[in-house]
Amino acid sequence: MTLGISDAVQLAAREQNGGRSDIAEKIYKQVLQADPNNGDALHLLGLMEIDNTRYQNAESLLKRAVQHYPEVAGYQISHCLALALIGRENDALGKLGALLAKEPGDERARQVLGRVLRCGPEMTTMLRPSPPREPVLSSPAPAPDQTLIVGMAGGYSPDQLMPFVASLRRHYQGPVHLFTDGADDVTELFDQHAIAWTHVASPPVDFATFRWKLAAEFLDGVPDDTWVYLVDVGDVVFQGDPFAFSVDGEWAAFLEDTSMTIGACPWNREWMLVNFGHAMLATLTDRTISCCGTIAGRCAKLREYLAQFCVLAGTVPIAPKIGLDQAIHNILIYHGMVPGGSLISNGWPVATVQHMPEDSIGVTSDGTITLADGRIPAVVHQYNRRANMISAVMERYRRPDSAG
């Protein structure tokens, strides 16, 4: 070559930008003959191969660029796109999520992530969910000082919060931190039950999405090994120590009843479709719903979960709506974007009751919610979807000064 390596790469880039890809390709290949590990040549030739739909060649070239220059985010982002185009979308999701967790403002990474998530027309295959890890449950609970419960209590009155607060303190004496926009009577209730709280102004988006951003900031100051429960407040009641189980992994998500899938549930179907499109819905349509209202794990791992959540939320081109958190949660767990997790079948330790058959769960005369086999779930979620459970729970945990 008569030109220097750097000048040759710049010349090829100008030819490429001018639509003269045949000339640019020849120059890039000449550069790589002289300097096989030239990062810019590998990268730009890889992008040209993507434009020419030679995706395998592109992935090979871009992989080499990343191997030799792992610190260059642009090479990694382009490699992720190539991975998705050859059918390795899950690998692309994981790598992009890790990149954006470090640099959440990287606009190109967000664009590529959105393209992968929504399976644009150039994608040859759709995202394939990773197989879930089967949980191994046991009963010992960690010491209370090694645990923490975090939740969003916005928009509730003291009467509505009483079942959560009173049932929790009946079975768990460890630290709790709730976010609330409530008045003095709400914070007084928390103080009476030794529950720490942070007052937040009503957010411009729904609390369901806003809570994860608050939780992500809060958990930055919590030790890595603390076992944390991220939990709904308005529809959860406790019947045992919520931490009296362990799993084969560092964190756990809890499934709903197997009779209802994401595609069959009108709400979950709509949330996935509106936010992530038909292709993503198609990949998850037959999967059992997991509700994001109960998530447990080591603090370090839940920080990773929350970082990935915020990354995906940032790719949505419309204003956040109710249900976005649910759609993102199921994408995260089924595409393995937060490694080391387990999916726990419905019933114990958590019973998410909305879709459970009538003969699989009931209420005893003293208001205890039990499974058909006699087991008592430590956590009952979505009890407010069933009239008999609402009346039993509200009666059992009525505030002493309430009327009636």
Instruction: Verify that 246 and 297 share a domain, yes or no.
Output: yes
- pLDDT surpassing 60 at residue 11: yes
Q: What percent of the chain has pLDDT over 90?
A: 58
In the numeric block, which tokens belong to residue 279?
């292709």
Instruction: Verify that 148 and 113 share a domain, yes or no.
Output: no
pLDDT band at 403 (very low <50, low <70, confident <90, very high): very low
At CA 228, angle to CA 102 and CA 253, rounded to 5? 85
Instruction: Return the SS3 of 385.
Output: helix
Host domain of residue 269: 144-352
Over range 309-321, report the average pLDDT: 75
Report the C-alpha gap between 400 and 260 in whole angstroms.
38
Whether the link from the prior residue into 349 is cis, omega within 30° of 0, is yes
Within-domain flag for 380: no
pLDDT tens digits, 19-75:
888 898 999 899 999 999 999 999 999 999 988 889 999 999 999 999 999 999 999
**Alpha-carbon torsion, ordered 209, 237, 286, 81, to 10 deg:** 30
At CA 338, angle to CA 335 and CA 344, rounded to 5? 80
pLDDT tens digits, 166-204:
999 999 999 999 999 888 999 999 999 999 999 988 665
Instruction: Verify that 159 and 267 share a domain, yes or no.
Output: yes
Instruction: Verify that 191 and 291 share a domain, yes or no.
Output: yes
Instruction: Verify that 174 and 228 share a domain, yes or no.
Output: yes
pLDDT tens digits, 210-223:
888 899 999 999 99
Report the C-alpha gap between 64 and 94 in whole angstroms.
19
- pLDDT surpassing 90 at residue 208: no
- pLDDT surpassing 80 at residue 135: no
pLDDT tens digits, 98-131:
888 788 778 888 888 888 887 655 555 445 666 5
What was the pLDDT predicted at 249? Answer: 82
Instruction: Return the SS3 of 179.
Output: strand
Over range 158-172, report the average pLDDT: 95
Over range 162-169, report the average pLDDT: 96
Report residue 391: phi and psi, to 5°. -65, -40
Within-domain flag for 387: no
DSSP characters over 197-240 = EEE-PPPSS-HHHHHHHHHHHHHTTS-TT-EEEEE-STTEEESS
- b vs e for 200-216, b when ≥16 Cβ sit within 10 Å of the residue's Cβ? beeeeebbbbbbbebbb
What was the pLDDT predicted at 226? Answer: 95
- pLDDT surpassing 50 at residue 392: yes
Instruction: Verify that 178 and 299 share a domain, yes or no.
Output: yes
Of 54, 97, 61, nearest to 79 by C-alpha is 61
**Domain-ending residue, one of 309, 325, 352:** 352
Can you say how many angstroms the Cα of residue 59 is from the centroid of all Cα atoms in its chain?
27
Report the C-alpha gap between 132 and 344 in whole angstroms.
10
pLDDT tens digits, 84-100:
888 888 888 888 888 88
Report residue 23: phi and psi, to 5°. -70, -45
pLDDT band at 262 (very low <50, low <70, confident <90, very high): very high
Within-domain flag for 217: yes
pLDDT tens digits, 367-377:
999 999 999 99
Query: 249 with 342: CB under 8 angstroms?
Result: yes
Instruction: Verify that 203 and 307 share a domain, yes or no.
Output: yes
pLDDT band at 390 (very low <50, low <70, confident <90, very high): very high
Over range 272-287, report the average pLDDT: 87
Report the C-alpha gap between 1 and 291 in whole angstroms.
61
Query: Where is average pLDDT lowest: 12-26, 115-129, 277-291, 382-396?
Result: 115-129
What was the pLDDT predicted at 133? Answer: 58
The continuous run of DSSP H or E covering 14 comes out as: helix 5-17
What was the pLDDT predicted at 162? Answer: 95
> Which is more confidently placed, 79 or 18?
79
Instruction: Verify that 56 and 150 share a domain, yes or no.
Output: no
Where residue 41 sits, what CATH number does that domain have? 1.25.40.10
What was the pLDDT predicted at 319? Answer: 58
